[in-house]
Structure 1
């Protein structure tokens, strides 16, 4: 996403209640995240912990810190065990998209949650991803530097804005099953208008 769009969208977020405020409307981010990303939105809270067994921690460590994402991708490509693949895939996707930090290293503090393998579907990844984004916006606002990298999945804000714009005619955003359906509805409206 262009830096100017990212900066503008982040400036429109009310971090106290997690809404994107554009054109006099407050768009709640959390209800749209499962529809945008299609990730689990279950009851268990995602937690980060430094309490990691030494063998697992070492597997994802490089020079005393989290492993470089590119190295984790190489491990993932060679992994045949399904649970190990899930763990490495999640470490990568969290590091580069869902809970993006300011560097390209995996966050080993996710390992206690990821050890559940297929059980990670029981966690509320939607709230976690949204919370990471809000925390990232708070950090940027608190920072006095001009050139700061955005943390979190800022694309959520762009899609929330687009969905709200498509439904500005009065349709309830909550009624959107997922973004694919929103695109189909928008296409149907365009077709009907052009007829």
Structure 2
């Protein structure tokens, strides 16, 4: 990867011998590995058995989980927040694990629509919940820095599973708690 970054830097017309660029290919490779570390993680490793018996059957919501991802089309960042809710069905998930699941999928080359579904499906799979709702709101640098260059556009995606899809009052409660 270091050599690939060196080639890119040279291709834009820069001199790799210039003082500020001498170690840039190595730094860029390390940064890119960090930004895509989700590929080295599995759902089982992230959850790490942090499931606990519970007789709670009311909504659990974690709101405003910040996320940083790279768009798979231009490899430019998109930055936003994720709201995750579920209705337990005998098990609750450790609080930090929800944020870790969001990070695992965000730290891959992504499109927001797929990431929203991946997070929801994973929470449902791990918890066996009666329902899961996920909303992501993000700003995409590929739309802000290039192309149409619109600075204020925010993309919102949602995925509703189980009771969040089938029960209008559950969906309404989730949406009111998020707004």
TM-score range, shorter chain: under 0.3
Considering fraction of residues, name the structure with more strand.
2
What TM-score results when the alignment is normalised by the length of structure 1? 0.23
